[in-house]
Amino acid sequence: MTKAFVFDAYGTLFDVHSAVRKHAELVGPDADIVSEVWRQKQLEYSWTRTLMDRYLDFWQLTEQALDFALSKVPSANKDAKKDLLEAYWNLECFAEVPSVLAKLKSSDKKVAILSNGSSDMLDAAVSSSGLTDLIDDVISVDRIGRFKAVPEVYQMILDDYQITASDVSFQSSNRWDIAAANSVGFQTIWCNRGTQPDEYSDLPPDRIVTDLNGLIV
């Protein structure tokens, strides 16, 4: 039986593209490309930093990734940087998130976030989206100085709650995150918001949903 519902934050609860969307006119005609490059580099830096054992917190990587994106896209207005970074502290949550979390919370299960985000970033996003009372714990990789998808990240949930891996339902929009959670024995729900093709066929999700409403059955 599930004892804890654990959520990835960025792309799962919070829309990582809402920062650029908010300032799309300022960024320029290729704002969508800027947002995609920003997100991809943000993740890439987390993986390479972990492999090198040269940790920087996620906020520093977010700023570095934005610098790259604004330089990479010729039409991008570099003067948008300050506004984009400020917007990232207050990312929009997806529409169904508050109601889904409220229903899970009422079931007397633990509801937690497990994220690469720095503690300050996550606290700001949770607060600005009005989710504070719906989440029991916000667990950041800051604690161990390594990013997903290393097993030590997922182990934090088991250590904190003193439960077994099979007690955890883990939800993420990132297929690689689902694969990693599967590898440590979590129940896994892939929230495939972008209808992406499947991958990591040897580490499949237990279920696939198009948004988090699929958790409420």
- In whole angstroms, how far apart are CA 181 and each of 25, 174, 177, 189? 38, 11, 6, 10
Residues with catalytic roles: 8
Burial 161-180 (b: 16+ CB within 10 A, else e): beeebebbbbbbbbbebbbb
**Coil, strand or helix at 205:** coil
Q: Sheet containing 168-172: which strands, arranged edge to edge?
A: 137-140, 110-115, 4-7, 168-172, 187-191, 207-209
Closest CA to 68 of 29, 30, 32, 42: 42
Whether the CA torsion 44, 6, 93, 176 is positive or negative: it is: positive
User: Which tokens sit at 58?
Assistant: 């996620």
Amino acid in the structure at residue 201 = S
Burial 31-57 (b: 16+ CB within 10 A, else e): bebbbbbbbebbbebbeebbeeeebeb
